[in-house]
Structure 1
Amino acid sequence: MPIVFPDIWHLRLIVAPEAVDAFEEVFDRFAESVTMFMEDKSGISDGDCLWHLEGYSRTPPDRAQITAALAAVAAATGHDLPALEVERLPNVDWVLENLRDFPPIDAGRFFVRGSHWDGKVPVGRTELLVDAGTAFGSGEHATTRGCLTMLDMLAKRRRFLHPLDLGSGSGILGIGMAKMWAVDVLATDIDPSAVKVCANNARMNGVGARFTSVVSDGYRNPALKKGKPFDIIVANILAKPLMRMAKDLAAHLAPDGVAVLSGLLDWQERMVMGAHEPQGLRLRQRLVIDGWATLLIGR
């Protein structure tokens, strides 16, 4: 009997940079997952570009309702009404399709590879072996590479003893910290399937005994309150959730601790820092890869 995978609907808009935030709010209401990427026609990130705003849903979207919401936003903001594309994705194993196109990735001292790859790991690199499963975070994304590179930079200055990987996905960042500093790591994700994948990946990398992976909506799981303060918090999520959780981050961060934030576009950096600076957190370092920013912040 053939394996049947869940139906997934794909929503897409193409909008100008100044309209991204307005229409993203509509997708946030109708899609379970929202992402975006830039189509840069000029070769510079602030030049002639368009943004592809994409959403994914496991329930059939109501095109008329979404279009009406988009029209209301367009009328209120003065932006042009973008054309909405809706398609039902083919019933295939997207994880397998992703793994076929998942090459090894170099990020600082880290070498991320899928279990399907049987090449030789370069000498002196810390290997991160990953089966992405149903969780986001193969390491190929610029934000994950940015976080790993930032962790590598931090390791040259200091050893951290009590890390938190918030929004862990497949667990790459938490596993990297567990391997690099030989410490216990708490990893959380809002998606139970991601938590299972994360725990499996930790075991596959030989750090399962010092790795705790739990379901948590932000900082709500009691394990975070019990475990705080953390001397390093890594949160590779999206700009708006990072902003909403700025106060919680400050409350869970040790006085001399630092946080690595990513999942935000370079032009969203000012908004994200605007939420964290009132909490006494300042920008210490930034790294931009393909238009995506990774920020190091601390008191």
Structure 2
Amino acid sequence: MTVDTWCLTLEAPLEKAQALETILETSILMESEYPPTLSYFEQPGDANWKIELFVTGTPDENMLKALLRDAALKSVPYSLEKLEDRDWVSESQKLLKPVEAGRFYIYGSHDADSLPQDTINILIDAGQAFGTGQHETTWACLHTLDTIADTVKPKTILDLGTGTGVLAIAAKNLWPDSDILATDIDPIAIDVTVQNMDVNDVKISDKFGDKGIRCVTAEGLGHSSFTEYGPFDLITANILAGPLIDLAPALTAILRPGGTLILSGLLLTQEKEVLDAYRHQGPDNTLNWEMGRVEKGEWLALKLIKPLV
């Protein structure tokens, strides 16, 4: 039996999208056989985010309107469209071309028969977590890791907001003797990371000292694993500008002096605000980071090296 899939699409500020996500999590819709899924994406040059709510089966439009009303989105125009009956996961994977970033080659299983030689090949299929390598911010982080691979020798690494785990897996390939902590606030992302580690033959660890990757669901930096693994020689944080700014004191504190911090998920227009947050750390609020940057389209990755004193 074929079950129809519908997509409700609208645009709104990030806080409205997050409010809708919170309300949806406690909605009666989540108790159905096929619970809905919500995605929202930042749009360069636009204050509004694109929001897509996918519903399987005939949608109850009154219930959908109630969700929008509860998220203060009642007056926002939206479209509700039935999707063509296709295997959308398979179709989306076929559209994803391999990504080359320095020595890294990120590919989907549909390209497994044509892998190049002399590259670090990482299999990441499109799925329920962020980070196939396609997005400019993931590419910029991979490129930055490649540029520091021959000069930096980190023993402890944190991948904050790991998504699919692609950056943690990339780091493990560069520095096989390192202990890596990969964290995300989303348990689905952690499940995806573990799956991707398995298909890429990367060691999964459950404690510091195993020289593998430990995967932890953690909101904020209060989880005990941060204390167990930190301070860190290298931190990658490909999240969003807002959280990067909010986490500036905590990330600075758990980065070892001389350590490298890679920040991404920010637009070019957000660079100054993010940099200011990190420069205003330290005992006198004037931390003099050594800085590098990689641009990709409208997006940016920052490389910051913490002063030794």
Cα distance in 1, alignment partners of residues 254 and 160 from structure 2: 11
Are the structure 2 counterparts of residues 196 and 254 from structure 1 closer, same or farther at C-alpha, using a change threshold of 3 Å?
same
Amino acid paired to 1:248: A
Asked whether the equivalents of residues 238 and 263 of structure 1 are also in contact (C-alpha less than 8 Å), the reply is: yes
Asked whether the equivalents of residues 95 and 134 of structure 1 are also in contact (C-alpha less than 8 Å), the reply is: no
Task: Please report how far the alpha carbon of residue 200 of structure 1 lies from its aligned counterpart in structure 2 after TM superposition.
Answer: 1.2
Task: Name which of 39, 42, 47 aligns with 1:36.
Answer: 42
Query: Which has the higher mean CA deviation after the structures are superposed, 104-113 or 271-280?
Result: 271-280
Task: Please report how far the alpha carbon of residue 86 of structure 1 lies from its aligned counterpart in structure 2 after TM superposition.
Answer: 4.4
SS at match of 2:42: strand
SS at match of 1:279: coil
Q: Deviations over 1:230-280 (max 9, x none)?
A: 100001011111111111101211111111010100000111112211124
Aligned counterpart, 1:11:
10
Count how many residue pairs are aligned between Structure 1 and Structure 2.
267
Aligned counterpart, 1:264:
266
Task: Please report how far the alpha carbon of residue 88 of structure 1 lies from its aligned counterpart in structure 2 after TM superposition.
Answer: 5.9
Cα distance in 2, alignment partners of residues 68 and 50 from structure 1: 18
Cα distance in 2, alignment partners of residues 123 and 190 from structure 1: 36
The equivalences for 1:184-195 within 5 A come to 184-195=179-190
Cα distance in 2, alignment partners of residues 85 and 3 from structure 1: 23
Is 2:169 aligned against 1:175? yes
Aligned counterpart, 2:24:
none
SS at match of 2:43: strand
Cα distance in 1, alignment partners of residues 219 and 82 from structure 2: 28
Cα distance in 2, alignment partners of residues 284 and 97 from structure 1: 40
Q: CA RMSD in A?
A: 2.7
Is 2:300 aligned against 1:293? yes
Gaps of 5+ in 2: 22-37, 55-62, 205-211
The equivalences for 1:140-179 within 5 A come to 140-179=134-173
Cα distance in 1, alignment partners of residues 222 and 3 from structure 2: 36
Cα distance in 1, alignment partners of residues 119 and 225 from structure 2: 32
Cα distance in 2, alignment partners of residues 101 and 35 from structure 1: 19
Task: Please report how far the alpha carbon of residue 56 of structure 1 lies from its aligned counterpart in structure 2 after TM superposition.
Answer: 4.1
Task: Name which of 102, 108, 113 aligns with 1:114.
Answer: 108
Aligned counterpart, 1:17:
none
Asked whether the equivalents of residues 199 and 212 of structure 1 are also in contact (C-alpha less than 8 Å), the reply is: no
Percent identity between the two aligned chains: 33
Asked whether the equivalents of residues 240 and 264 of structure 2 are also in contact (C-alpha less than 8 Å), the reply is: yes
Aligned counterpart, 1:246:
248
Q: Deviations over 1:101-141 (max 9, x none)?
A: 11111001100001221333222211111133311111100
Amino acid paired to 1:30: L
Asked whether the equivalents of residues 132 and 197 of structure 1 are also in contact (C-alpha less than 8 Å), the reply is: no
SS at match of 2:133: coil
Amino acid paired to 2:227: K
Asked whether the equivalents of residues 8 and 78 of structure 2 are also in contact (C-alpha less than 8 Å), the reply is: no
Which TM-score applies when normalising by structure 1?
A: 0.79
Which TM-score applies when normalising by structure 2?
A: 0.77
Aligned counterpart, 1:78:
none
Asked whether the equivalents of residues 10 and 89 of structure 1 are also in contact (C-alpha less than 8 Å), the reply is: no
SS at match of 2:112: coil
Cα distance in 1, alignment partners of residues 81 and 263 from structure 2: 33
Are the structure 2 counterparts of residues 133 and 67 from structure 1 closer, same or farther at C-alpha, using a change threshold of 3 Å?
closer
Is 2:196 aligned against 1:201? yes
Query: Which has the higher mean CA deviation after the structures are superposed, 88-97 or 165-174?
Result: 88-97
